[in-house]
Amino acid sequence: MTSPQDNQTAKPVCFQDVILRLQSYWAAQGCAVLQPYDMEVGAGTFHPATTLRSLGARPWAAAYVQPSRRPTDGRYGENPNRLQHYYQYQVIIKPSPANLQDLYLGSLKAIGLDPMIHDVRFVEDDWESPTLGAWGLGWEVWCDGMEVSQFTYFQQVGGHDCRPVSGELTYGLERLAMYVLGVEHVMDMPFNDPASAIPMTYGDIFRQAEREYSRWNFEQADTEMLLTHFKNAEAECARILDAADTDSAGRAIPMAHPAYDQAIKASHLFNLLDARGVISVTERQAYIGRVRALAKRCADLFVTTSAATGEPLPAFPAGA
Amino acid sequence: MPDLLIELFSEEIPARMQARAREDLKKLVTDGLVGAGLTYASAGAFSTPRRLTLTVEGLTAESPTTREERKGPRTDAPEAALEGFLRSTGLTRDQLEARDDKKGQVWFATLTKPGRPAAEIVAEVLTATIRDFPWPKSMRWGAGSLRWVRPLHSIICILTDEAGANTVPLEIEGITAGNTTRGHRFMAPDEITVSSFEDYAAKLRRARVMLDSSEREAAIRQEAANLAFARGWEIVPDDGLLTEVAGLVEWPVPLMGAIEDRFLTLPPEVLQTSMKEHQKFFSARNPKTGRIEGFVTVANIETPDHGETILKGNQRVLAARLSDAAFFWDNDLRIAKTGMEDWAEGLKSVTFQSQLGSQADRIARIAALAREIAPLVGADADQAEQAAKVAKLDLRSAMVGEFPELQGTMGRYYAQAADYPAAVADAARDHYSPLGPSDDVPSAPVSVAVALADKLDTLTGFWAIGEKPTGSKDPFALRRAALGVIRLVLTNKARVNLTEIIGKGYPGADAADLLAFFHDRLKVYLRDQGTRHDIIDSVLSMPGNDDLVLLVNRATALSDVLKTEDGPNLLQGLKRASNILTQAESKDGVEYSFGADPKFAETDQERGLFAALDTAEPAIRAAVKAEDFPAAMSAMASLRAPIDAFFEAVQINTDHQIVRRNRLNLLSRIREAGRLIADFGRIEG
């Protein structure tokens, strides 16, 4: 048996080892280790734990893996590092602590990237998400010339100034792990310990699915249906936001989260339509604008709620 | 006299902002100090990715005491007026002085502003500088409200004199100024205490920070050259990249690697662009093969393994990038070899501009226009049309999709692969030129035809839809396009009638207005070349002014003759003749333009001028017709002596009306001769 201490000093041996180390590292820094959001999203930022929780004054610290889907990036599992489904590791801390860069560098050490023998650099990269009406300043972090993370101080989300500011770290897990493990093709990367009774590579788990989704994304997805779903999600989002704040029993329950789910859904449907090549350059902006409008309204509502303000949830009226 | 040291220590400052930030810091702080009454001997600003530093030497220790006298109300004014005066001056009545003034006794106050210590002023000025620093983009962080380019961590602000260093008391948003900083993020992260600028710079160097960006640039240049030399290579110079890389490191450690053989078949421009844009690598060329075969990456750290891990990592990333590039190249070549039909088809669905149609529409227009222009620039019309159709197809290629700056460059490779003639392939590369005022201008006829057609389609198109540049706004770079046309025409001495060509461009453009735009740009261009603006003005309204070559020849000849001894006198004579005529014509209400007769000449000087004009006029006319402006000028110059003699000896206005009219009509012959060449009235002097 190796002790956890040994584990931290030895290099990771597989993909999940990298993930587990990040999980325990950020848990040790006091983050709530959350689970992935149970919806299709293009990036970890879409998780309500980041988008919504970066709004308002209530302090927040969370870390999680987020499966992310980018239909246009599908390459039928053939490209060494491009996937339509991949994992991001996301850390979000509000207010951003003064030592966030040091904390981040600690996380690199935890996964076996010692900054004393590697060349770690913070290279300007301003982040913007037109669909979320969000932007921030920060860097892409380079390790030996490779981008391993995105490091952002959120300035605005959903059109609202972030006060206080959240610090957001996003690691592209496959690329990072491939580098740490010295693997050339993502599909060859050991997923669990290669010394296990049943060793599995990333390809054993995902290659077939990558092929299937690539075909569906590029050729098969029913664009009429997707368009209808987009409109439905947009309409439902607006309906939820337009609903009265109080329920049938007179209890004040504004519904920011359910509305935001519909915004996420619309965003992903837009990505699928984009992959199918049915959205022209001029229409693109219009679609992005429609999703942003939804995200903004969700943010408008969320900032008034307890999760943002830090006020206790209002008690239900007696008898309700 | 104390020296001031300021360091603003932050998280990584974008490389592109550092040079400007150094200048701003120096200017804002020194202006502030001077504004508050201090003086200094010298100042210098420095930057690294994590710090902005300012040293001010020979600062005065305090600002001088100032006295100001202020006049108040009369001593017999109502009490309220006096109270107001006391409030505004902050004095009491017994501190005022009553003095006699013209209108009676008046209160005077003497306000003494004592000098202030430098520390107090520095604290104020630095606080204001930090709060109002003009970063192109700034941010907040944590729970604070201070804005800086990235989170600001610490401030050094010390005044050092013979007695030692004193920290200037200063606090901004929880950051208290001190006398400490930190060295290199990884190699020397501990706190350093400093007592002066020299001490600071020396200690930073020991802590693996090279403070001066120009020193870092020099170190990178030198070491990269050494590494390349050892392999028999040479570094492809790139000053922009050098400055950027020097802004990304505090302790530059250049490392050299070789490009894998399998990528050496990629075009050198692709290797160079990919390495520069994605990896910020310098390219190394093998002079024996002429190929790009290696690279230099600049690390920010010295490692126990002498950079081996870092270099290996960078090699790996480069291999992945170049695999992508090779994939694009192979795919693109495949499409190119089939004649690029896919790309031509694809450009039908790419919008150029919503009112001006798709890229395919635009290409069709340029091709038609290139055909028209071809004979004027000595190009084969069929080839010019073909080149225009091929020149922009690379916009659909995967490589240009990845590296837009390779447009044209790739077009040439792909046109070659598609077996187009060399002139067509070259036009694909060269038809975007010239882009800047110092860019090379294409000279191959087919390239010139397509380059002109491309720019004229853009200009006429945006003119037709009313999108002319206004003020500083020129989103479609139309000024650049017009300058491009001007340089193409002038450099190649292309005799192009612009009005006619504009008429063949995008329908609906106001040709006169567009020609005036060309004239404006031409004026700017010639002025930059050293031609006087009044000379340009004097030829702009001459016939054939849409033929820029003719126009410039005229201006040059004129400019040359004005530089000779005859020039200014001739000009004076012409102007004098013109002025006398204008006066007489407005007084008499007639135009004197015809009928001068030598038989009414009374003096030799008059007869001499008649004779001189009889010789010069046909010579000028013939020379202008032959577009030989130097000859026209010299014929004109031959009139100088007779004109001078005429004005010297002859009084125009006499009582003899026939003689007077005859003389005025003679003057009009001088005016007419001048008008063949330029509008001399516009020339100064």
In DSSP terms, which residues pair with A146 in a beta bridge?
A: A143
Position A7 pLDDT exceeds 60 = no
| CA of B186 vs chain A CAs: smallest distance (Å) | 7
**Are A79 and A226 part of one and the same domain?**
no
CB within 8 Å: B186 and A120: yes
pLDDT computed for residue A282 by the predictor: 65
pLDDT, one tens digit per residue, over B609-647 is 899 999 999 999 999 888 898 888 888 888 888 888 888
User: What tokens were used for A38?
Assistant: 């149970």
CB within 8 Å: A122 and B312: no
**Are A194 and A80 part of one and the same domain?**
yes
Averaged confidence pLDDT in chain B:
92
User: What tokens were used for B628?
Assistant: 């030989």
Phi then psi dihedrals of residue B683, to 5 deg: -85, 135
| CA of A213 vs chain B CAs: smallest distance (Å) | 22
**Are B32 and B82 part of one and the same domain?**
no
| CA of A146 vs chain B CAs: smallest distance (Å) | 6
State which amino acid sits at residue A207: R
| CA of B131 vs chain A CAs: smallest distance (Å) | 18
Domain contains B640: yes
pLDDT, one tens digit per residue, over A226-284 is 999 999 999 999 999 999 999 998 899 999 999 999 999 999 999 888 888 777 766 78
What CATH number should be reported for the domain holding residue B440?
A: 1.10.3210
pLDDT computed for residue B439 by the predictor: 86
Which residues of chain B neighbour A179 with C-beta distances below 8 Å? Answer: 313, 316
Residues of A with CB under 8 A from a CB of B: 80-81, 95-98, 101, 115-124, 126, 136-139, 143-146, 153, 155, 162-165, 167, 179, 280-282
What count of other Cβ atoms lies within 10 Å of the Cβ of residue B23? 12
B421: contact with A, CB 8 A cutoff: no
Of A54-63, A102-111, B294-303, B487-496, minimum mean pLDDT range = B487-496
Pairing between strand B282-286 and B253-258? Answer: unpaired
Residues 6 or more apart whose Cβ sits within 8 Å of residue B360 = B344, B347, B348, B350
Phi then psi dihedrals of residue B112, to 5 deg: -110, 120
B84: contact with A, CB 8 A cutoff: no
Domain contains A107: yes
**Are B300 and B188 part of one and the same domain?**
no
Residue ranges of E strands in B163-290: 164-167, 171-172, 175-176, 180-182, 191-193, 234-235, 253-258, 282-286
**Are A237 and A154 part of one and the same domain?**
no
B20: contact with A, CB 8 A cutoff: no
pLDDT computed for residue A34 by the predictor: 98
Domain boundary among A216, A250, A274: A216
Cα gap A45→A49, rounded to integer Å: 8
CB within 8 Å: B142 and A143: no
pLDDT, one tens digit per residue, over A212-227 is 999 998 888 898 999 9
B355: contact with A, CB 8 A cutoff: no
**Are B445 and B384 part of one and the same domain?**
yes
Length of chain B: 685
CB within 8 Å: A146 and B349: no
Which residues of chain A neighbour B153 with C-beta distances below 8 Å? Answer: 98
Which residues of chain B neighbour A123 with C-beta distances below 8 Å? Answer: 12, 248
Taking alpha carbons only, the member of B326, B444, B355 closest to residue B391 is B444
Domain contains B479: no
Cα gap B621→B566, rounded to integer Å: 20
Domain boundary among A216, A239, A264: A216
Domain contains A42: yes
CB within 8 Å: B140 and A153: yes
Position B440 pLDDT exceeds 70 = yes
Position B44 pLDDT exceeds 50 = yes
B318: contact with A, CB 8 A cutoff: yes
| CA of B317 vs chain A CAs: smallest distance (Å) | 6
B458: contact with A, CB 8 A cutoff: no
Cα gap A63→B368, rounded to integer Å: 61
pLDDT computed for residue A2 by the predictor: 39
Count of domains forming chain B? 5
Domain contains B415: yes
Phi then psi dihedrals of residue B294, to 5 deg: -145, 180
Residues B444, B448, B449, B454: is their CA dihedral positive or negative?
Answer: positive
CB within 8 Å: B318 and A144: no
Facing B139 at nearest CB: one of A80, A123, A137: A137
**Are A135 and A244 part of one and the same domain?**
no
pLDDT computed for residue B299 by the predictor: 97
CB within 8 Å: A146 and B143: no
From chain B residues 34-53, the ones with a CB under 8 A of any chain A CB are 49
Cα gap B182→B170, rounded to integer Å: 19
CB within 8 Å: B142 and A97: yes
User: What tokens were used for B307?
Assistant: 């950079």
**Are A228 and A208 part of one and the same domain?**
no
B617-652: b or e for each residue (b if 16 or more CB lie within 10 Å)? bebbeebbeeeebebbbbbbbbbbbbbbbbbeebeb
| CA of A5 vs chain B CAs: smallest distance (Å) | 23
Confidence of residue B113 (pLDDT cuts 50, 70, 90): confident
Cα gap B133→B503, rounded to integer Å: 51
Across the range A83-89, mean pLDDT stands at 96
Position A6 pLDDT exceeds 80 = no
HEC profile of B123-166: HHHHHHHHHCCCCCCCECCCCCCCCECCCEEEEEEEEEECCEEE
Q: Tokens 């952002």, residue? A: A152
HEC profile of B437-492: CCCCCCCCHHHHHHHHHHHHHHHHHHHHCCCCCECCECCCCHHHHHHHHHHHHHHC
Whole-number Cα distances in Å, A82 to A39, A71, A176: 21, 11, 13
**Are B656 and B580 part of one and the same domain?**
yes
Position A8 pLDDT exceeds 60 = no
Residue from A119, A135, A186 whose CB has the most chain B CBs within 10 Å, to mutate: A119
**Are B54 and B169 part of one and the same domain?**
yes
Cα gap B42→B55, rounded to integer Å: 8
The answer to whether residues A245 and A253 touch, using CB atoms and an 8 Å cutoff, is: yes
CB within 8 Å: A117 and B303: yes
Domain boundary among B206, B240, B271: B206
Which residues of chain A neighbour B149 with C-beta distances below 8 Å? Answer: 137
**Are B168 and B233 part of one and the same domain?**
no
- Of all residues in chain A, the one with the smallest CA distance to B280 is A145
| CA of A263 vs chain B CAs: smallest distance (Å) | 28
pLDDT computed for residue B639 by the predictor: 87
Averaged confidence pLDDT in chain A:
92
Facing B142 at nearest CB: one of A98, A136, A143: A98
**Are A107 and A162 part of one and the same domain?**
yes
Position B180 pLDDT exceeds 80 = yes
The answer to whether residues A125 and A150 touch, using CB atoms and an 8 Å cutoff, is: yes
**Are B71 and B57 part of one and the same domain?**
no
Residue B83's domain comprises 66-113
CB within 8 Å: A124 and B323: no
**Are A121 and A260 part of one and the same domain?**
no
Domain contains A319: no
**Are B157 and B228 part of one and the same domain?**
no
User: What tokens were used for A154?
Assistant: 């959120």
Residues 6 or more apart whose Cβ sits within 8 Å of residue A285 = none
The answer to whether residues B317 and A144 touch, using CB atoms and an 8 Å cutoff, is: yes
pLDDT computed for residue A281 by the predictor: 66
Q: Cβ-count burial of A6 within 10 angstroms (0-12 exposed, 13-18 middle, 19+ buried)?
A: exposed
Residue A230's domain comprises 222-309
| CA of B303 vs chain A CAs: smallest distance (Å) | 5
- Of all residues in chain B, the one with the smallest CA distance to A135 is B139
Domain contains B535: no
CB within 8 Å: B304 and A139: no
pLDDT computed for residue A19 by the predictor: 98
Across the range B226-244, mean pLDDT stands at 96
Taking alpha carbons only, the member of B388, B407, B409, B387 closest to residue B396 is B407
Domain contains A317: no
What count of other Cβ atoms lies within 10 Å of the Cβ of residue B29? 23
**Are B30 and B168 part of one and the same domain?**
yes
Long-range CB pairs of B268-273, under 8 A, 24+ apart, other chains included: B268/B292, B269/B406, B269/B409, B270/B325, B270/B329, B270/B399, B270/B403, B270/B406, B270/B410, B271/B322, B271/B325, B272/B236, B273/B403, B273/B405, B273/B406
Domain boundary among A161, A187, A216: A216
Length of chain A: 320
Most confident of B106-110, B253-257, B625-629, B648-652: B253-257
Domain contains B191: yes
| Beta-carbon-side half-sphere exposure of residue B80 (alpha carbons within 13 Å) | 0
Q: Tokens 């010390």, residue? A: B158
pLDDT computed for residue A3 by the predictor: 41
**Are A59 and A187 part of one and the same domain?**
yes
CB pairs under 8 A between A and B: 102
Domain contains A314: no
Domain contains A320: no
Confidence of residue A4 (pLDDT cuts 50, 70, 90): very low
Which residues of chain A neighbour B15 with C-beta distances below 8 Å? Answer: 124
Across the range B259-284, mean pLDDT stands at 94
**Are B38 and B72 part of one and the same domain?**
no
Domain boundary among B337, B352, B381: B337
Position B559 pLDDT exceeds 90 = no
The answer to whether residues A232 and A240 touch, using CB atoms and an 8 Å cutoff, is: no
Which residues of chain B neighbour A116 with C-beta distances below 8 Å? Answer: 186, 301, 303-304
CB within 8 Å: B142 and A96: yes
Domain contains B487: no
Instruction: Reduce the DSSP state of residue B369 to 3 states and report it.
Output: helix
Q: Cβ-count burial of B306 within 10 angstroms (0-12 exposed, 13-18 middle, 19+ buried)?
A: exposed
**Are B652 and B577 part of one and the same domain?**
yes
Taking alpha carbons only, the member of B373, B651, B676 closest to residue B544 is B676
Of A137-151, B340-354, B429-443, minimum mean pLDDT range = B340-354
Confidence of residue B399 (pLDDT cuts 50, 70, 90): very high
Domain boundary among B81, B113, B145: B113
Taking alpha carbons only, the member of B535, B448, B545, B440 closest to residue B493 is B448
**What is the H or E stretch that residue B239 is in?**
helix B239-246
**Are A197 and A180 part of one and the same domain?**
yes
Domain contains B602: yes
Of A221-235, B305-319, B581-595, minimum mean pLDDT range = B581-595
Taking alpha carbons only, the member of B626, B635, B622 closest to residue B670 is B635
Phi then psi dihedrals of residue A92, to 5 deg: -135, 125
CB within 8 Å: A119 and B300: yes
Domain contains B387: yes
**Are A128 and A58 part of one and the same domain?**
yes
**Are B362 and B405 part of one and the same domain?**
yes
Q: What is the DSSP code string of B30-56?
A: HHHHHHTT---SEEEEEEETTEEEEEE
Domain contains A276: yes
- Of all residues in chain B, the one with the smallest CA distance to A181 is B313
Q: Which carries the bigger pLDDT value, residue A171 or residue B578? A: A171
Under DSSP, the state recorded for B22 is H
Position B595 pLDDT exceeds 90 = no
Q: Cβ-count burial of A242 within 10 angstroms (0-12 exposed, 13-18 middle, 19+ buried)?
A: exposed
Count of domains forming chain A? 2
Taking alpha carbons only, the member of B309, B277, B300 closest to residue B220 is B300
Facing A145 at nearest CB: one of B144, B304, B317: B317
What CATH number should be reported for the domain holding residue A228?
A: 1.20.58.180
**Are A175 and A296 part of one and the same domain?**
no
**ipTM metric:** 0.93
Across the range A29-39, mean pLDDT stands at 97
User: What tokens were used for B442?
Assistant: 């294409």
pTM: 0.81
**Are A251 and A134 part of one and the same domain?**
no
State which amino acid sits at residue A175: R
| CA of B264 vs chain A CAs: smallest distance (Å) | 21
Position B358 pLDDT exceeds 90 = no
Q: What is the largest CA-CA distance in chain B?
A: 107
pLDDT, one tens digit per residue, over B50-106 is 999 999 999 999 999 988 888 888 888 888 888 898 898 888 888 888 888 887 889
Q: What is the largest CA-CA distance in chain A?
A: 66
Cα gap A198→B450, rounded to integer Å: 65
Domain contains A102: yes
What count of other Cβ atoms lies within 10 Å of the Cβ of residue B683? 21
Facing A165 at nearest CB: one of B140, B310, B320: B140
Facing A124 at nearest CB: one of B15, B138, B151: B15
| CA of B155 vs chain A CAs: smallest distance (Å) | 15
Whole-number Cα distances in Å, B365 to B391, B393, B411: 13, 14, 19
CB within 8 Å: B279 and A145: yes
